[in-house]
Structure 1
Amino acid sequence: MAKNPAQEESPNTDAELLRTQRPERPSSDFIWEQDTFRRIGYGGVNMTKALSKFDLAQKESFKQAALDFSAKGDYAQTGFVSLMCAISKSLKHFPVSAFDTSWVAQTLKVPLFVLNIGTIKRFFVFWKARNPQAISDEALQLLIKIKSRAVYSNNVLSDDPEKSWLSDEEYEALLASVWRNYEDGLFSTSRTLITLLSMQYARRPIQIAHLKFQDVRNAASDDSSGLSGPVVSFPGGKDMGAETGFRDSKFEHHPLPGHLWNLFEIQRNEIQAMVEFQLDIHLSDSELQKLPVFASAGRIERAKYELTSQYRVDWRSNLDHHLFHMRPLRISQILAWTPNSHRDIEPPLSHRTGRPLVVSATRLRHTRARQLARKGVLLHVLSHWLGHTNEKSLRAYYNDPAEDARKLDEAMAPTLMPLAMAFAGKLIDSEEQASRSNDPISRLEFAKNGELKNVGNCGKHSFCATTSVPIPCYRCRHFEPLVSAPHKEVLEALKIRQEEENQALRIGGARDLLVPIDLSADILAVKNCIDRCNARKRELGIV
């Protein structure tokens, strides 16, 4: 018996017609797992005890309101976690079966609740509009009348050597320690790059965490940043009135010096290798551009699992998702030198305390702001660049009671500059005297007018040499400069570069400010090297 054509297998069956239906996915990056409010991929707040006295209807209404409120996107995602933490803590201290005036009065004794009062007010207004039984009218009115208490940090104004900005000596010691640990293989490329980005650009941990490889590029003359050459574009981190989602704020464009560009290249290769190994794939160039600059094997695996199980999407089509990125908290821990392995070492000693430096993202940010202020960067320019909406918050960088003493120090700097910032290598009369004279890789050359000129040799099979990272050689103890090398040409090139950097700072568009790179320590080291070479030439009778 012949088959009815209508009974033939059709491509328009119900199942096939639903093939392109939008996949089910959470309304936001938050879900409830029983009574735990969880931010997918980041952990959560266990509210089992806090909600234990509520009936089922009230509990379910609260949980749904929390999801709907977080889906609005009015706050950064960490703000919603703080909101739930504050409510949970208040309910643990003062368990109630309904949100009434007595509960509001008692919760004022909980500091975390008062700190988050602004968000809490908006949440209860939002919830009550959807469920009149959420909170009593009297309790809501009392809650609304509570004034927010602004929290200000006095660390910038503090003279505490472990809270305020780093001194110039401490900053230089920290910088030297970071490069030395990288050279010796004790710091990964990731850890080194994170620290140097914070020290150079004063960006917040969340901005560093949100970087993608597409943000690091060799910009053409028509680039949207208005810059040309190597550029890094940091996602904004704290714009007033900006969207609060992942990488929603305005981007901040900055020129990228050669040593950081090279580190980014090395980091790109390492991240590509790790992701391809973890996910068993070969990445295309376009896929690599979507990946985070900073990630870990654990984050990669977790992101794949969460995208598949929670978001129900194809993970490979979502390589630009925030779950692949290292957490901002981890960035903060790295900047604070928080130990995470037996190989970790302490930061250098502070000359002010005699103890290891206390390092944090905030201190590094304050330090860089102070350095720029001391260079004469105008207040409104620095405020704009750092993302502050109120210039008053930056006046401390300019109105320093020790300004007169600082000016005196600057005037005497040529004679009192610490030896640690000077040339530290050993002179050689000829290349045959170099420690690695038979190794052509050890030769260090200076390019000028398309010509390479030998300035000396590297005296160690160092980690920096094998990765082509240009650690400032004139300040390195392994540098062996030739007495007859054109060190004056190096000095002139450094001076020209420094002048270009000093002239570069400007306002351009949406917080597109250039960051002057400070080459003063390198300039001093080259001058010191030239002086010693001249002294050696006199000994040898060379005019």
Structure 2
Amino acid sequence: MIVNNGDLSSRYLRTDFLSRDGYEVVISSDHWRLSKDIAFYPSDIDELIGSELGVSFRQVLAVYAETCSANYAKNLFTWLKPYLEFCVGFELFSSESLISYRASLGKNDWMLSSIRVFMRTWTALGYPGVPPQALSMIEKWKIKGNEKGYAVQSMCPESGPLTDIEMDGIVSNVIEGFAEGRIKLRDTCYAMILSMTGRRPIQITALKIKDLIKPGQKYYVNFPRAKQRHADWRSSFSKFEIVEDLWVLLQSQAEAVRLAFEDAYGKALERDLILELPLFPALGNYDPKGSLKDQLDGDFLHARSQEVTEVMRSVKEIIGVVSERTGAVTHLNAYRFRYTLGTNLAREGKGEYVIAEALDHSDLQNAGVYVKNIPDIVERIDKAVALQLAPLAQAFQGVLVVNESKARRGDDRSSRICSAGGNVGTCGSYGFCGALAPIACYTCSHFQPWLDGPHEFVLEELIAERDGVLASTGDLKIASVNDRLILAVSDVVTRCNAMKGDSADE
């Protein structure tokens, strides 16, 4: 047990507090729930520091849980716990314990910042236990910040920004999955909001129907801000302009939420109540015996932020988009979409202020990572490179057929897909399609390319068009818009060559 001396008898000790998200917490309880998403066990450190010091520790921690975000309070506890475990046998907050712990951290000495700020608050509140000389010593230390932006700097294919080809595959496959009923409306909304806005899960799950705004001909989502240390839940907002397609999708989600609540409520809801409904509700938390208006005041009826993470894991498995960098299914999480948004803005020449605003940062300390580490788009994709990358990207989603007669709808001449070089295949869909053929077909699961179709001609045309756009505009972002399509056509060419080779061997 940690040793320390002090007298608490003269200090006023609170018995409970209200977290910033409106949750009542008993300070002496083993479990603290600070929000719908954040809860932890202060009792985990009771055996480490003893009952008397534990009382002071909880009182100080309660100040942070009451005035700061729930996530910050939990992180503070998480960062302090290793120090407390290290200090068994030492006097808590003694100079000796701090010096020894600093030496053990090595490059991770940024964790000392949390200890220092906690010591300051402990002393300011008048609780005994922090030696003045130890506080004076740690105040003089120059503590480095934690490493920022490693995933962005390294362009990590597992956790860093997504490439344009990966993003194109994710968005198109999510839309296709939704259209085919493989991905639910709610999950599609999560995926599309993340990919198009780069917002944090906690911001998405805090949305209410009234946050969908349409002034004039533009569409906005009024996102509640997050990571504002001393701001209450949904107390500040940041508008983000969205495209009409996302707006229509979110309106469908809002209508589904209204119907679900009216079914649970037992009658039609007034407009004022409808606007207050969470866009992504935890309907199971609704108590029909209580006042719906009162239940809508806090975050009780909103989905957990963790749900977004869980949904993206599920979406990853459903769409199975393969990365051209790894040859494996692309890993999806909210942070990757944020990194991608920031990276794309930096690549377009935007400065730190613009990037910080787009990512809803309160300062510039993280935005600089994007400006200093601008990834290059592949400047030139020739036929050889495309054929080499194609098997990795697996952008082609259809089925190769020997000839028209073997294709689904092969007896329907209207299903033929034409190019400037001739017919390239058959469309197996019976529904209406307004996509531009044959350009959009190669990444569609309904496309059935013919073995002897002029696919190499299509590939050469696409590569020539890419080179032409780059030469005339000098803009790699615009020129690379069809890179995933180029890889899909290349994949078809590769498969055709392989099938022809197998036939020749036989």
TM-score by length of 1: 0.62
The equivalent of 2:25 in structure 1 is: 31
Aligned pair partner of 2:222 in 222, 226, 233: 233
Question: Which whole-Å CA distance do the structure 1 matches of 2:116 and 2:35 have between them?
Answer: 25
Give the percent of matched residue pairs that are identical in Structure 1 and Structure 2: 19
Aligned pair partner of 2:379 in 407, 413, 416: 407
* Deviation at residue 208 of structure 1 after TM alignment: 1.9
For residues 419-434 of structure 1, what are the structure 2 equivalents within 5 Å?
A: none
* Matched residue SS, 2:220: strand
Work out whether 1:246 is the aligned partner of 2:233. Answer: yes
Work out whether 1:123 is the aligned partner of 2:118. Answer: yes
* Deviation at residue 332 of structure 1 after TM alignment: 3.1
Aligned pair partner of 1:171 in 164, 167, 172: 167
* Deviation at residue 143 of structure 1 after TM alignment: 3.8
Question: Which whole-Å CA distance do the structure 2 matches of 1:378 and 1:192 have between them?
Answer: 31
* Matched residue SS, 2:325: coil
Answer yes or no: is the 8 Å Cα contact 1:49–1:92 preserved in 2: no
* Deviation at residue 292 of structure 1 after TM alignment: 2.0
The equivalent of 1:394 in structure 2 is: 370
Work out whether 1:258 is the aligned partner of 2:253. Answer: no
Letter in 2 for 1:246: W
The equivalent of 1:85 in structure 2 is: 78
Question: Which whole-Å CA distance do the structure 1 matches of 2:188 and 2:315 have between them?
Answer: 14
* Deviation at residue 349 of structure 1 after TM alignment: 1.5
Q: Residues 326 and 235 from structure 1, CA distance in 2 versus in 1: closer, same or farther, beyond 3 angstroms?
A: same
For residues 134-145 of structure 1, what are the structure 2 equivalents within 5 Å?
A: 134-145=129-140
Question: Which whole-Å CA distance do the structure 2 matches of 1:417 and 1:30 have between them?
Answer: 56
Letter in 1 for 2:328: R
The equivalent of 2:188 in structure 1 is: 192
Answer yes or no: is the 8 Å Cα contact 1:296–1:326 preserved in 2: yes
Q: Residues 188 and 145 from structure 1, CA distance in 2 versus in 1: closer, same or farther, beyond 3 angstroms?
A: farther
* Deviation at residue 357 of structure 1 after TM alignment: 0.9
The equivalent of 1:21 in structure 2 is: none
Q: Deviations over 1:240-281 (max 9, x none)?
A: xx7433133441331x32221221122112222333455656
* Deviation at residue 202 of structure 1 after TM alignment: 1.8
Q: Deviations over 1:289-310 (max 9, x none)?
A: 1222223334x34xx59xx9xx
Answer yes or no: is the 8 Å Cα contact 2:34–2:65 preserved in 1: no
Q: Deviations over 1:381-421 (max 9, x none)?
A: 334323453353221454x4x46xx3334999999998998
* Deviation at residue 174 of structure 1 after TM alignment: 1.5
Aligned pair partner of 1:296 in 250, 259, 282: 282
Structure 1, unaligned runs of 5 or more:
1-23, 221-227, 427-431, 436-456, 481-515, 529-543
Letter in 1 for 2:301: F
Question: Which whole-Å CA distance do the structure 2 matches of 1:216 and 1:126 have between them?
Answer: 40
Structure 2, unaligned runs of 5 or more:
1-15, 405-411, 416-426, 449-476, 490-506
Question: Which whole-Å CA distance do the structure 1 matches of 2:195 and 2:76 have between them?
Answer: 32
* Matched residue SS, 2:18: coil
Answer yes or no: is the 8 Å Cα contact 1:31–1:40 preserved in 2: no
Q: Residues 167 and 149 from structure 1, CA distance in 2 versus in 1: closer, same or farther, beyond 3 angstroms?
A: same
Question: Which whole-Å CA distance do the structure 1 matches of 2:348 and 2:179 have between them?
Answer: 30
RMSD between superposed Cα atoms in Å = 4.7
Answer yes or no: is the 8 Å Cα contact 1:213–1:268 preserved in 2: yes
Answer yes or no: is the 8 Å Cα contact 1:213–1:289 preserved in 2: yes
Answer yes or no: is the 8 Å Cα contact 1:50–1:95 preserved in 2: no
Letter in 2 for 1:230: Y
Work out whether 1:95 is the aligned partner of 2:88. Answer: yes
Answer yes or no: is the 8 Å Cα contact 2:220–2:239 preserved in 1: no
Letter in 2 for 1:296: A
Q: Deviations over 1:12-61 (max 9, x none)?
A: xxxxxxxxxxxx98364362462333324335332335223656454333
Q: Deviations over 1:124-154 (max 9, x none)?
A: 3222233341422233334434443322232
The equivalent of 2:149 in structure 1 is: 153
Letter in 2 for 1:265: Q
Work out whether 1:208 is the aligned partner of 2:185. Answer: no
The equivalent of 1:440 in structure 2 is: none
Answer yes or no: is the 8 Å Cα contact 1:31–1:39 preserved in 2: yes
TM-score by length of 2: 0.66
Answer yes or no: is the 8 Å Cα contact 2:152–2:369 preserved in 1: no
Answer yes or no: is the 8 Å Cα contact 1:213–1:292 preserved in 2: yes
For residues 45-64 of structure 1, what are the structure 2 equivalents within 5 Å?
A: 45-52=40-47, 54=49, 56-64=51-59
Question: Which whole-Å CA distance do the structure 1 matches of 2:385 and 2:351 have between them?
Answer: 24
Aligned pair partner of 2:269 in 258, 279, 283: 283
Q: Residues 163 and 122 from structure 1, CA distance in 2 versus in 1: closer, same or farther, beyond 3 angstroms?
A: closer
* Deviation at residue 211 of structure 1 after TM alignment: 1.9
* Deviation at residue 175 of structure 1 after TM alignment: 1.7
Question: Which whole-Å CA distance do the structure 1 matches of 2:44 and 2:397 have between them?
Answer: 63
Answer yes or no: is the 8 Å Cα contact 1:54–1:97 preserved in 2: no
Question: Which whole-Å CA distance do the structure 1 matches of 2:309 and 2:106 have between them?
Answer: 24
Question: Which whole-Å CA distance do the structure 1 matches of 2:320 and 2:17 have between them?
Answer: 45
* Deviation at residue 78 of structure 1 after TM alignment: 0.3
Letter in 2 for 1:316: K
Question: Which whole-Å CA distance do the structure 2 matches of 1:422 and 1:188 have between them?
Answer: 24
Q: Residues 168 and 517 from structure 1, CA distance in 2 versus in 1: closer, same or farther, beyond 3 angstroms?
A: closer
Question: Which whole-Å CA distance do the structure 2 matches of 1:27 and 1:165 have between them?
Answer: 35
Answer yes or no: is the 8 Å Cα contact 1:156–1:396 preserved in 2: no
Question: Which whole-Å CA distance do the structure 2 matches of 1:34 and 1:111 have between them?
Answer: 35
* Matched residue SS, 2:245: helix
